[in-house]
Amino acid sequence: METKNDHIYKKLVGKGLLKKQVYKNTLEVFQEFKMVADLVRFEADRRLSGDGHPLRVEFRDKGAFEGELRFAGDTLIFNMHTNVFEFSRVHEVMKTPYIKEDPERSYCGVINIFNFLTDSFRYNRMNDFGYLVARVFINKEKFFLVEGKHQNNFYYNQFMTEPITQANMRQIIESAMSYSIDFDLLVPPYDMVKETTVSDVIENSFNLKTRTGKRMGFKFQADHDQHKAEDS
């Protein structure tokens, strides 16, 4: 006769082994992601140098869970979350035959791709904004799903039908670079920066107190209100 402890034990072992496998897969994929990012850096930098351009592309491996790709004033931060997640029951992916056939496939590791201005790091502007460009989900079979802005050509709202490859990773990285380059830094509203303090000037910390960030395809309420005012 099965006891309550047996039931808990089976859950502990089953869920624990599942999450361990997902974590292992995600970590392996993330290491490949960094290798591919460095390859993209090498090829782009070699071409820029060959054409005599002063621009440079740089990649920095910042440890097991982070990498940094710098190009044309932009920086992409690749970050692997150390936890394993499951999709919400109302998420579209939960309605797919792939997940319904085996619900354990919905447990995933997450690789986030953030875009920042390179100067935010160069000048330690701690209040500057960065934006989530995309996030890549990896499951127990190394199948992948990518969430991002719908404008991206690497947006997948369901798991692909095969494990992720380095070619997929390259497409995701290059699409994230292209998307970041296409959205430029906007002049902040005048009223946001019209005042500062003597202390800020003396301490040379104006950049630390003024947030800078690109509007990455998002429509904020202030933008909506401004357009309404202009149309009226």
Output 41 or 126, whichever has higher pLDDT: 41
- For the chain, the structural domain boundaries read 4-231
Cβ neighbours of residue 40 closer than 8 Å, sequence gap 6 or more? 57, 59, 69, 170, 173, 174, 177
The C-alpha angle 221, 196, 227, rounded to 5 degrees, equals: 20
Q: Are residues 80 and 25 in contact, defined by beta-carbon separation less than 8 angstroms? A: no
Q: Are residues 42 and 35 in contact, defined by beta-carbon separation less than 8 angstroms? A: no
Mean pLDDT, residues 96-110: 96
Q: Is it the case that residue 12 has pLDDT exceeding 50?
A: yes
Q: Is it the case that residue 219 has pLDDT exceeding 60?
A: no
Question: Which percentage of the chain shows pLDDT scores above 70?
Answer: 76
Residue tagged 């390259």 (tokens):
170
Output 170 or 204, whichever has higher pLDDT: 170
Q: Are residues 151 and 179 in contact, defined by beta-carbon separation less than 8 angstroms? A: yes
pTM of the model: 0.81
Q: Is it the case that residue 142 has pLDDT exceeding 90?
A: yes
Helix (H, G, I), strand (E, B) or coil at 8: helix
Mean pLDDT of the chain, nearest integer: 83
The pLDDT, as a whole number, for residue 6 is 85
Mean pLDDT, residues 140-147: 94
- What is the tens place of the pLDDT at every residue in 145-177? 998 865 555 556 678 888 999 999 999 999 999
